[in-house]
Structure 1
Amino acid sequence: MNILDQEVILEFFRTHYEQFIALVFLLTFGLTFYLIPKVLWVSQEKNLMASVNERSSHSKAVPTFGGVAFYIAIIMVLTILQSLRLTYVGNHLIAAMTILFMVGLKDDLVISTAKVKFLGQITAACFLVFSPEFQLTSLHGFLGIYEIPVVLGYFITGFIVLALINAYNLIDGIDGLAAIVGIVISLVFVFIFYATGQPFFALASISLAGVLTAFLRFNFSRGRRKIFMGDSGSLLVGLLLSFLSLKFLAMEPYSPALSQGYDPAHRLLFLACILFVPAFDTLRVIIIRKIKGQSPFSPDRNHAHHVLLDLGLSHKKASFSLGLLNLVVVSLYISLSNLLSQVWLLFLVVLLYSVTFLLFGWFKVLGARQAKGSVVGSR
């Protein structure tokens, strides 16, 4: 492709930006909707199904390879977007996705050790953390901090990538939850990147929303059309969300759109609200396990979705409730961010996390009482 042809394509893209966003959503939705039945057929023919155990939220063996469809659909779209040469960072994302997809796929097939999974996550994270596009050198005045050492910037971005990959993986416990929360978060990023003139990242965000929306149809299904995203899917989505989060933090500080409601100094606070459900749920279970003297990685039924299920909510109601919670937190932050100073915004975010922590503690007690009452009543 010569320079003249590339300029013509880019000009066409700029003048039809909104149509491209809609087209990319439809493309990833359509590809995923087409691919999942193929993945289901292979999984069923080869008997590649998730076994049922005491902690399973399903009663029948279900394929766990939704991530295969995710990977193919997103890679195809990213490859097309790379031809527009909007940014070189898409190559870094493709490399990181491929590594983490293989790690997740191996775990879905034969169960990987925690060491192998963590090594794969670190390797994938390096492609993003050390990308110049995501270099974090300033907090823009958050808590009075401006310029930070490059090494500290690498530590912060690395922590965000690894923490978010694992936090998203942890909420993938019931039908629809990971997909619905992922859709909410990715659509918030679509809004942010569209408003700030970041076309590649807006299209990457809408791609993720398209994939997860198509997946919901099968994840909520019953019988032979049901599928889980598996580790190959949840790790992949967690990586994509961390990719979008790093760009959000590393964007130019004085974009006109960013000055309306979310000042650069407040980005970490805004990000804590955008990622509310995976961040809150992970913090909550780690705190509870440490209080009980257990390992932070020990399995239990203290996740937010377990609490809602114990209250009697169905998978669908629990998933939509947590997705709505994430959306309400983001909306509340945006509506108040123009009115409050940084200190009060920090207080607001801490309050939101604390109140939700106490609320789910109360829900946990109610669920235990209901379970005890039902046992007594059945005697």
Structure 2
Amino acid sequence: MRDYLIAFLTTGAITFVLSWIVWKVAIRYRLHPEIRERDVHKTPTPRLGGIAMFFGLVAFFLISTQLPGFAIVWEQPIRMWALLAAAALMVVVGVADDLWDLDWMIKLGAQFAAAWIVVGIGGIQILFLPFGSQVVVSSWLSISLSILAIVIVMNAVNFIDGLDGLVAGVCLIANAVFFAYSALLARDFDNSPETNTAVFITVVLLGVCAGFLPFNWNPAKMFMGDAGALLLGLMMASSAIVVTGNLPPQLLADNDQFGRSQLIGAYIPMILPIVVVLLPLLDFGLAVIRRTAKGRSPFSPDRQHMHHRMLDMGHTDRNAVFVFYAWTAVVSLSVLLMYIGTTAGWPGLYLPGLAYLLIGGVACVLVTLPPSRRAARVASDTKASS
């Protein structure tokens, strides 16, 4: 755990310093695009934070090659270098889009290319799926599913990047939960290069998000742009695939602890990576349906994302961001509690997680309601009690 704390603090410090440098350069040379109709901010703001995030990540990747505690992560160096190569491609394309607004076909093609680098060269693939006692996926299906999953998560994360601190904070919470899950899995069942690589990626992403968030907090000095959002999506999808998609069937199906609940043992490792990015995936799905129903490209921009709707409901920028944080924490932590309850042999198995989900869900619904409606409800309850 000491090594991971060093990774978090070092990556966070490097990213913070680089963010300050990038921000100063961007302000000095006016490297910021004009405000678009769908934008929430009113002042031209640099969108080059992804550059600082990328080099913060790269810096600790390189540092980790000299640290004995991360030797297991570098047992298959091709996997790590493929991740960095794919990340570099996404950052270059993202920065170009942030500055010159590239055609969506170019961006999508680059995303598929980056995903292929991770899958085809790095070998990060979904090898098992949780059907029954988990089934082995054929090679062509493995490559196709893995590439598609990475592209979907990249776009999902990118789609919710519309409010100050939203993506950085949501990814901070999501990666913290996935870090805990991966670390527990590595400790209790599968201390392999795959699970340790997932833990390593998530803790580095935690540092990247924590180091950048001070510059992105409302009112933001700088945005991460497509470069940062696509980088986070790429790495989060890869970390999920490298651990979950490589869990051997016998590990979960035949394990004595998981044997108490085949449903939990078989499905939570696949559920958790999905729920930690549930809000981005939901927003992405709704945007695709909404736009295609109107005969438009699913990647054509509009002002009807979930965060836009929150603002239209009367929430302030910060309140809307906190609502997203709350939903992310409640949903992801509840599934993590189900996993812990199962592996720890609690009498109720996953009931503590379900209880947390129910109580937290009700609380989140209440804070999501339009402020005027909440105020009216509080006044009504006060009047009734008196």
Question: What TM-score bracket applies, with the shorter chain setting the length?
Answer: 0.7 to 0.9
Q: So what's the TM-score if we normalise by structure 2? A: 0.78
Instruction: Please report how far the alpha carbon of residue 305 of structure 1 lies from its aligned counterpart in structure 2 after TM superposition.
Output: 0.9
**1:103 and 2:93 equivalent?**
yes
Give the deviation of 1:270 after TM superposition: 2.7
Shift of 1:333: 2.5
Report the Cα offset of residue 145 of structure 1: 6.0
Of 88, 104, 109, the match for 1:114: 104
Cα offsets for 1:169-208 (capped at 9, x unmatched): 1010111111111111211221122112333331221111
Check conservation: 2:128, 2:247, Cα contact below 8 A.
no
Is 1:61 aligned with 2:44? yes
Which of 167, 173, 189 in structure 2 is aligned with 1:178? 167
* 1:43 correspondence with 2:26: yes
1:281-360 alignment to 2 at 5 Å?
281-336=283-338
**Contact kept in structure 1, 2:128 and 2:246, CA below 8 Å:** no
Q: Distance in 1 between matches of 2:24 and 2:56?
A: 18
Contact 1:140 1:147 in 2 (8 A): no
2:224 match: 229
Deviation at 1:114, TM superposition (A): 1.5
CA distance in 1, matches of 2:130, 2:322: 35
Q: Report the counterpart of residue 248 of structure 1 in structure 2.
A: 243
Does the CA contact (< 8 Å) of 1:258 and 1:264 recur in 2? no
Q: Distance in 2 between matches of 1:308 and 1:336?
A: 30
Deviation at 1:331, TM superposition (A): 2.3
Tell me whether 157-166 or 300-309 shows the greater mean CA deviation: 300-309
Structure 1 position 312, deviation (Å) = 2.0
CA distance in 1, matches of 2:29, 2:46: 10
Please, what TM-score do these two structures have when normalized by structure 1?
Answer: 0.79
| CA distance 1:299–1:34, change in 2 (3 Å) | same
Structure 1, 153-162 or 194-203: larger mean CA deviation: 194-203
Contact 2:177 2:333 (8 Å CA) reproduced: no
What 5-or-longer segments of structure 2 have no aligned partner?
Answer: 343-349, 374-386
Residue-pair matches, total: 335
Query: C-alpha distance in 2, partners of 1:69/1:132?
Result: 24
For 1:257 and 1:289, the matched residues in 2 are separated by 48
8 Å CA contact 1:181, 1:277 repeated in 2: no
- Counterparts of 2:287 and 2:257, CA distance in 1: 33
Moved more, 170-179 or 180-189: 180-189
Matched, 1:208 2:210: no
Structure 1, 207-216 or 77-86: larger mean CA deviation? 77-86
| Matched-pair contact (CA < 8 Å) for 1:77–1:207 | yes
CA-atom RMSD in angstroms: 3.2
Please list the CA deviations of residues 323-379 of structure 1 after superposition, one character each: whole Å capped at 9, or x if unmatched: 22011112223344668xxxx99xx9xx99xx99xx79x969x99xxxxxxxxxxxx
Contact 2:174 2:332 in 1 (8 A): no
Whole-Å Cα distance in 1 between the matches of residues 272 and 94 of structure 2? Answer: 29
| 8 A Cα contact 2:168 2:209, kept in partner | yes
Equivalent residue for 1:371? none
The CA distance in 2 between the partners of 1:304 and 1:151, in whole Å, is 35
Percent identity over paired residues: 27
Query: Relative to 1, partners in 2 of residues 1:336 and 1:76: Cα closer, same or farther, differing over 3 Å?
Result: closer
Change (3 A) 1:333 1:39: same
Q: Given the alignment of the two structures, is residue 274 of structure 1 paired with residue 269 of structure 2, yes or no?
A: no
Structure 1 residue 163, shift from structure 2 partner: 0.4
Amino acid of the residue matched to residue 270 of structure 1? Answer: L
The reply to whether residue 141 of structure 1 matches residue 131 of structure 2 is yes
Match of 2:381 in 1: none
Q: How far did 1:86 drift? A: 4.2
- The alpha-carbon deviation at position 57 of structure 1 amounts to 0.8
Structure 1 unaligned regions, length at least 5: 1-17, 368-379
d(CA) in 1 for partners of 2:137, 2:201: 29
Larger displacement relative to structure 2 (284-293 or 96-105): 284-293
CA distance, structure 2, for counterparts of residue 55 and residue 243 of structure 1? 30
User: What is the letter of the counterpart of residue 247 of structure 2?
Assistant: E
Tell me how far apart the structure 2 counterparts of residues 263 and 211 of structure 1 sit (CA, whole Å).
31
